[in-house]
Amino acid sequence: MFTTITVDSTSGGTTMPYTPTITFETAAARYITYIAATGGSSSPGPGYACSITDVTTQVWTVADRSTTGIQFGDLVYASSTGSTPYSTNTLTWWKTPKSTPGSYQIINFNSSGEVAGFQLC
């Protein structure tokens, strides 16, 4: 599709062809998974993340983790469309479901929001 543009038409101007360009960006698919709303420590004792029972907060990943659980290096998002990571707190561990129903793991994040470590509960 060509369109003509006239530049500086008040003094005679120049007419030249112009091809408009449209760029589309598509967002990667997001898959829902779950995480504890509060975090804890990675070792037994007060605040131990594996002892948390409410693991119902929705989070999203770009890979389907319904059969594997969240993995090392995953970026876990706070919403299905936004770019905000769930957490960038490097000191807290969060309980999430693992692949086998009823089994759990705890994960922690790096300062970019990627999963930096995990341990089985």
Residues in a beta bridge with 7: 14
For residue 47, tell me if it sits in a domain: yes
Predicted model pTM: 0.72
The reported pLDDT for the residue numbered 12 is 63
**Structural domain tally of the chain?**
1
CA distances from 26 to 81, 86, 108 (A): 11, 21, 29
Does residue 70 lie in a domain region?
A: yes
> CA–CA separation, 65 vs 71, rounded Å?
8
Predicted pLDDT at 75:
94
* Gap between the Cα atoms of 58 and 55, Å rounded: 9
pLDDT for position 99 = 76
Domain, as residue range, for 116: 28-121
Contact 105, 69 (CB under 8 A): yes
Q: How many CB atoms lie within 10 A of CB 42?
A: 18
Q: Which residues of the chain fall below pLDDT 50?
A: 24
Q: What confidence score (pLDDT) does residue 92 get?
A: 94
- Number of residues in the chain: 121
Task: Indicate whether 15 belongs to any domain.
Answer: no
In a domain, 17, yes or no: no
Query: What is the pLDDT at residue 17?
Result: 65
pLDDT for the residue 15: 61
d(CA 114, CA 121): 20
Nearest to residue 27, comparing CAs of 53, 55, 62, 79? 62
pLDDT of residue 81: 92
